[in-house]
Chains A and B, each alone.
Chain A
Amino acid sequence: MVESFLQPLNIFLLGLGGGFLIPLLYRLSKRLPAVAFWTALAGIAIISGACLWRLLGGADAFEIETAGTAPPLAISLRLGPAEGFFAFWVNLAALFGAWHLWHRLRDSYTFLLLYLILVMGINGMIMTRDLFNLFVFLEIVSIATYGLFGLGQTRAAMAGAFKYIMATVLASSFFLLGAAMLYHVTGTLSIDEMIARRDLIAGPIGTTALVLVLACLVIELKPFPANGWGLDVYETAPAGVAALVSVGVSAGVFFALLKLMPLFAPQLTLIAVSAAVTFLFSNLVGLRQSNVQRMLGCSSIAQMALLVLALSLLMRHGEDDALPLVVGGLFFNHLFAKAGLFWLAGAVRRRRIGGWNILSAGAPFIFVFCSLLVAIAGLPPFPGFWAKWELVLRLAEHGGYAWIAVVLLGSLLEAAYLFQWFGRAVKPGRGEPAGRVPRWGLFPAAACVALLAIGGMVASRAAGAASVWLHAPLVAGAALLVIEGLPGRARCLSMLLVVFAAGTWMAQGIGGINGLFAALLLSGGLVIAAAGLYRGDARPGYHPLMAVLLLSIVALLRASTSLEFFFAWELVTLASAFMLALSPAARGVLLQFLLFSLASAFLILAGFAIARAVTGTTDLAAFLAAGPAAAPAFVLIALGCMVKIGVIGAHVWLPASYAKADDDFSAMLSAVVGKVAVFGLFMAAYLATRSNAGLELARVVGWIGILTTVIAALLALQQADMKRMLAYSSLSQTGYIVTAVALMSHLGWVTALYLVANHLMVKGILFLAAAAIIERTGLRRLDACGGLVGRMPLTFAVAIVALVSMSGLPPLAGFGGKWLLLSAMVDRGWYGPLALGVLATLVGLLYMLRFGHALFLGPLKPEHAELREAPAALLVPQFVLVAGILLLSFFPKLLMDPVSAAIDPQFASTLVWQGMSLELIYAYWNPARAMAGAVGLALLGAGVLWVIYRIGRWPSRAGGPTRFFRYYRPLLAPMLASHAERFWEAVSVAVGGAAGAARRVYTGNGQTYALQVLAYVLVLYFFVAVFPMIRGG
Chain B
Amino acid sequence: MGLPISHLLLVTGLVLALIGMWGVLVHRNILRIIIGFSLFGTGMHIVIVATGYVTNGTAPIIDQALPIGEAAARAVDPVPSALVVTAIVIGFSVTAIMLSFAIRLYEARKTLSIDAFTDSKW
Contacts and interface: CB of A to CB of B under 8 A. Distances in A.
A160 B120 contact: yes
Contacts of B97: 143, 146-147, 165
Interface string A835-870: 000000000000000000000000000000000000
A241 interface: no
A1004 B122 contact: yes
A1004 B83 contact: no
Interface stretch (A181-189, A358-366, A719-727, A961-969): A181-189
A71 B94 CA distance: 29
A163 B98 CA distance: 10
B44 interface: yes
Contact of B114 (A160, A235, A1007): A1007
Contacts of B108: 155, 158
Contact of A235 (B30, B51, B94, B120): B120
Interface in B73-96: 79-80, 83, 86-87, 90, 93-94
Interface in A128-163: 132, 135-136, 139, 142-143, 146-147, 155-156, 158-163
Given A162-B105, A180-B83, A156 B120 contact: yes
Interface in A274-330: 288, 291, 294
Nearest to B93: A143
Interface string B40-58: 1100100110011000000
B120 A183 contact: no
B104 interface: yes
Contacts of A183: 51, 79-80, 83
Interface string A965-1005: 00000000000000000000000000000000001101111
B119 A156 contact: yes
A155 B24 contact: no
A189 to B, nearest CB: 7
Nearest to B102: A162
Nearest to B122: A999
Interface stretch (A171-179, A432-440, A780-788, A925-933): A171-179
Interface in B4-46: 21, 24-25, 28, 30, 33, 37, 40-41, 44
B110 to A, nearest CB: 11
Interface string A206-234: 00000000000000000000001001100
Contacts of B115: 1005
Contact of B121 (A184, A1002, A1011): A1002
A169 interface: yes
Given A143-B97, A158-B101, A1006 B122 contact: no
A236 interface: yes
B118 interface: yes
Contacts of B44: 173, 176-177
A61 interface: no
B25 A1014 contact: yes
B94 A136 contact: no
A166 interface: yes
B119 A176 contact: no
Nearest to A132: B83
A1010 interface: yes
A975 to B, nearest CB: 40
A181 B47 CA distance: 10
A1011 B120 contact: no
A169 B94 contact: yes
Contact of B118 (A159, A165, A170): A159
Contacts of A184: 51-52, 80
A69 to B, nearest CB: 14
Contacts of B121: 228, 232, 1002-1005
Nearest to B94: A169
A165 B94 contact: yes
A383 B25 CA distance: 43
Contacts of A147: 97
Given A165-B98, A176-B48, A155 B117 contact: yes
A176 B87 contact: yes
Contacts of B94: 139, 142-143, 146, 165, 169
Nearest to B119: A156
Contacts, number: 119
A160 B52 CA distance: 38
Interface residues of B, number: 38
Given A155-B117, A162-B101, A1005-B115, A136 B25 contact: no
A176 B13 CA distance: 14
Which of A161, A162, A235 has most chain B Cβ within 10 Å?
A: A162
Contacts of B119: 155-156, 159-160, 236, 1004
Contacts of B102: 162
Nearest to A232: B120
Contacts of A139: 90, 94
Contacts of A1011: 25
Interface in A234-272: 235-236
A169 B118 contact: no
A162 B114 CA distance: 10
A547 to B, nearest CB: 44
A785 to B, nearest CB: 50
A422 to B, nearest CB: 23
B118 A1004 contact: yes
Nearest to B100: A150
Nearest to B95: A169
A147 B100 CA distance: 10
Given A139-B90, A165-B94, A173-B41, A158 B51 contact: no
A697 to B, nearest CB: 44
Contact of A136 (B28, B33, B90): B90
A1006 B28 CA distance: 10
A179 B83 contact: yes
Contacts of B122: 288, 999-1000, 1002, 1004
Given A155-B119, A158-B108, A136 B86 contact: yes
Contacts of A1003: 118, 121
A1010 B122 CA distance: 16
Given A156-B120, A158-B108, A180-B48, A1006 B114 contact: yes
Contacts of B86: 132, 136
A294 B94 CA distance: 26
Interface string A538-581: 00000000000000000000000000000000000000000000
A233 to B, nearest CB: 9
A159 B19 CA distance: 24
Nearest to B24: A1010
B36 to A, nearest CB: 9
B25 A1010 contact: yes
B120 A1004 contact: yes
Given A999-B122, A1003-B121, A169 B30 contact: no
A230 to B, nearest CB: 11
A294 B121 CA distance: 10
Interface string A326-368: 0000000000000000000000000000000000000000000
Contacts of B52: 184
Nearest to B117: A159
A166 B33 contact: yes
A960 to B, nearest CB: 59
B38 to A, nearest CB: 10
29 contacts: A139-B90, A143-B94, A146-B97, A146-B101, A147-B97, A155-B105, A155-B119, A159-B118, A160-B119, A161-B101, A166-B24, A170-B40, A173-B41, A176-B44, A176-B48, A177-B44, A177-B48, A179-B83, A183-B51, A232-B121, A1000-B122, A1003-B121, A1004-B120, A1005-B115, A1006-B114, A1007-B24, A1007-B25, A1007-B28, A1014-B21
5 cross-chain pairs, A with B, having the tightest CB-CB distances, nearest first: A1004-B121, A1004-B118, A159-B117, A156-B119, A180-B48
Given A132-B86, A159-B120, A1004-B121, 15 more contacts: A156-B119, A163-B117, A165-B101, A169-B41, A177-B44, A180-B48, A181-B51, A184-B52, A231-B120, A235-B120, A1002-B122, A1003-B118, A1004-B122, A1006-B117, A1007-B25
